[in-house]
Amino acid sequence: MIDMHAHFFPPLSPTQSRVLDAERGPWLDPGDGESGFIMTGTERFRPVRRALWDPARRLEELDAAGIERQIICATPLLFGYGQPPERAAEWARLVNDLAVEHCADAPERLQPLAQVPLQDTDAACREVSRAKANGMLGVQIGNHVGERNLDDEALVAFLAHCADAGMPVLVHPWDMLGRERMPRYMLPWLVAMPAETQLSILSLILSGAFERLPRSLRICFAHGGGSFAFLLGRVDNAWRQRDIVRRDCPQPPSSYVDRFHVDSCVFDTRALRLLIEVMGEERVLFGTDYPFPLGESEPGQLIRDTPGIDEGTRRRILRDNALRFFGLAGTDG
């Protein structure tokens, strides 16, 4: 199995965190060594466990789960899009170098995605090029920068650069909408996060951005594409009925599903079957959201348990699709 959606958080010190933000920079309090906290300045942001920052522990858990390879990316809190570009660029270099270090002892098992200062297109493109030269496999971005969605011309230009550079892109939701109405029960993660992902996909479709971007762009959306697959019929109906929906989108929205991929992190066999039906088995990639509590607790079990899909489909989702998407050489594992 190849897990293409997993996170890490480097053992950043309070001093290092000030590269990004002197008051509320993110850093790691390792606690007792087994469990600790992600910190923002002096405040605890989230409890975390050792596998998030310790590659040796990560590899032990991958062995136990039967995962041959894992693609890791930064925890989205590290993006830094709200900071001045020069700070964010220095910060991205630091985080990316630590990501490479995290993978260094097992480069065939652990492979990193880069982060970039996405608020500055030129700086972001430079960091993509630097990351590729340093052996990073692709790039992870947030699904928006402030009020700018992925159809913003500067962000479309960045995606075009990734296509030209041959760097795959993982889009991860973050900084979720409507937080003031969702103060309890982790509702931003349960309601707004899937909506954010659907928003980013529809922004690219309905704006006509996919018409302008090269087909060589390899782009994948986390968490099964959020609410996109379930609501695609509603979107197609709106496109047929309202000219304001189809103004910039010359084809039905459903015709663009061959332009992107999604991961399999949906936690329900019925949802996974729908996702495969909508996207096609070749565009669903195994991802766990490891090692967070909202991730897949038994990696691969959902795919193995889903009825109505054959062993060839399971193998493609669990492994082969990631090899193709990231341009990796396979093994017999």
Fold of 2-8+51-326: TIM Barrel (3.20.20)
* Segment 43-60, tens digit of pLDDT: 999 999 999 999 999 999
Helix/strand/coil for 148: strand
CA separation for the pair 168, 325 (Å, rounded): 7
Q: How far are the Cα atoms of 26, 97, 172, 188, 299 from residue 223, in angstroms, in the given order?
A: 24, 26, 8, 14, 14
Helix/strand/coil for 154: helix
* Segment 182-216, tens digit of pLDDT: 999 999 999 999 999 999 999 999 999 999 999 99
Taking the domains of the chain in order of start, what are their residue ranges?
A: 2-8+51-326
CA separation for the pair 304, 151 (Å, rounded): 36
CA separation for the pair 270, 5 (Å, rounded): 21
* Segment 90-147, tens digit of pLDDT: 999 999 999 999 999 999 999 999 999 999 999 999 999 999 999 999 999 999 999 9
| Structure letter (DSSP) for residue 328 | P
Extract the tokens encoding 317. 């989702």
Q: How far apart are the first and last CA of the chain?
A: 8
Please give the single-letter amino acid code of residue 269: T
Extract the tokens encoding 48. 């975390």
Torsion region of 280: left, alpha or beta (phi above 0 gives left; psi -120 to 50 gives alpha): left
Asked if residue 159 lies in contact with residue 116, where contact means CB atoms within 8 angstroms, the answer is no
332: pLDDT confidence band, cut at 50, 70 and 90? very low
Beta-carbon contacts of residue 315 (< 8 Å; ≥ 6 apart): none
This prediction has a pTM of 0.96
Extract the tokens encoding 233. 């019929």
pLDDT at 329: 78
Name the percent of the chain lying above pLDDT 70. 99
